[in-house]
Amino acid sequence: MADLSDAVLVVGFTCRSLAQCANGQGFSPLVIDRCGDRDTRKAAKMHSLWLSDEDITDEAIDDFLNNRPSGLDAKSCFPQFCVLAGGTENNLHLIARLSRMFPNMMNPAQYLSMRCWKNWRNWSENSGMLFPWSWELGPILSEPDDLPRTPTDSASDNAYLFKRLDQAGGLGITAWNREESPLASPLALASSNGIVQERIDGQSVGVTFLSSTRDGIALGCTEAWPAQPHPWGPFVYHGSVGPVSLPEEDWQLLDAFAKNVTDASHWKGLWQADFIRRGSQWYLLEINPRWTASMELLEASTGLELVRLHSLAVSGKLANDAWQKLLQNSQSSRIASSRCFAKRVVYAPRSIEVSEAMIERWWHHRLPLESFTNGSDTSSGCWFADIPNEPMQFETGYPVCSIIGVSASTEDLKIAMEERHRLEIEYLSSSDSPE
């Protein structure tokens, strides 16, 4: 392999935002994902589809990297590091393969540590945060008479939730009815990877962190789009808005949390944590050790080059002067931005065949990538992303595309995005769109 490369291997179920951000920072993204969206392929130097019944073997990765198109030089084809997107953090076989190929990548044990809910509880409590009352499902199923009851000091009067820890994007989260026999429930099938947890109401936010050999730091915060009805459950991810402005004491709390996680896990690179914020109280829900859907919004609003920061962190180059410079820059980037960005996922309202005409409509009603990444552009507008590459069938509830918007006003942007989303759902639901 080449000694110096600008290539980065990007692997995940959907990699559009990561590929675009990497491309915008001068990297050559080589993408393996399951969606193969048109804008993903445009941003990628090379792209390969990851079929749902396919395992990404060492040989498959080698073939992908070695079979480069004519005209693409070696410097753009031999990546020095790999970044994972959604749907990969629990695939330890894949992580083991990739960590053998990329020594700077975190190993499966570190991913396991970052995905362990008992670690989440310890790290949050040691940082002055809170963690919802939680129970492993296995013991509950073996002793049905010992069902969870709301503790006297609980912050919630609501029902409990069952959460599968091997799924992402709000999937695998359902209401837990303690009055029903758990042994008769299909949840018993997932007893090895699920927990029962009290539901906490409040502001749902995601915080992006960076860990290095020096320390950990919170880079920015976004808010989840309010919950919407969905056939797969009430907690399916519908989008994000950001950045969220926080008081200094909250940033100090988040920085302390980042340090505790970094010291305990020895993680290096980007990661994200989901929280419920209730006034000055922070409840940790989950840690995602990968690129997340909201990071592109944070990058666009703050000007931080997250992929570059990740590459420096995993290679051990964010130390001393470089880390101090990041700390200084982060203080200003965490101040309220002059622009707000939002993402809204468009899910199929019914079974629908997306035609070439629909794809072209989305493609030509989008702003160029430069309008998204150029910090001097303060114009408002909405455009489409995650656009299918070719005509295909979408069943009810499947993600069809996304809407991304920018405005100087958070409230104006939310209103505009809701209207744009409503019009798009009407369009997909209408008799004029192909069945």
Choice between 390 and 64, residue whose per-residue pLDDT is larger:
390
Q: 145 and 63: one domain? A: no
Q: Decide if 115 is inside a domain.
A: no
Average pLDDT of the chain is: 85
Please check whether residues 229 and 285 belong to one and the same domain.
yes
Rounded to whole angstroms, the Cα distance separating 322 from 119 reads 29
Is the domain of 89 the same as that of 149?
no
119 within domain boundaries: no
Distance CA 384, CA 343 (A): 10
Lowest mean pLDDT among 159-168, 332-341, 384-393: 332-341
Type of residue found at 61: I
pLDDT at 222 over 90: yes
Predicted confidence band at 2 (pLDDT cuts at 50, 70, 90)?
very low
The verdict on 211 and 311 lying in the same domain is yes
Question: Domain check: are 28 and 79 in the same one?
Answer: yes
Residue 157 and residue 223 share a domain? no
258 vs 316: which has the higher pLDDT: 258
In a domain, 349, yes or no: yes
Question: Do 359 and 303 share a structural domain?
Answer: no
Average pLDDT over residues 19-39: 94
**Is this prediction's pTM over 0.75?**
yes
Rounded-to-integer distance, Cα 192 and Cα 194, Å? 6
Host H or E run for residue 47? strand 46-49
Q: 16 pLDDT band (50/70/90 cuts)?
A: very high
Quote the number of domains for the chain. Answer: 4
**Residue 234 tokens, joined:** 């009430």
β-strand partners of 8: 29, 81
DSSP string over 178-238: TTS-GGGSGGGGGGGGEEEEE---SEEEEEEEEE-SS-EEEEEEEEEPPP---TT-TT---
Same-domain check for residues 280 and 168: no
Q: Is 110 a member of any domain?
A: no
- For residue 242, which phi and psi values (nearest 5 degrees)? -175, 170
Q: Alpha-carbon distance 281 to 119, whole Å? A: 19
Say whether both 344 and 333 belong to one domain.
no
**209 lies in the same domain as 319:** yes
Measured in whole angstroms, how far is the alpha carbon of residue 358 from the centre of its chain? Answer: 27
At 186 the pLDDT is 56
- In this structure, the answer to whether residues 69 and 144 fall within a common structural domain is no
Domain housing 400: 338-435
Q: Put residue 229 in one of left, alpha, beta given phi > 0 → left and psi -120 to 50 → alpha.
A: beta
Question: Mean pLDDT throughout 232-243?
Answer: 92
286 touches 205 (CB < 8 A): no
Query: Of 198, 216, 234, at which residue does a domain stop?
Result: 198
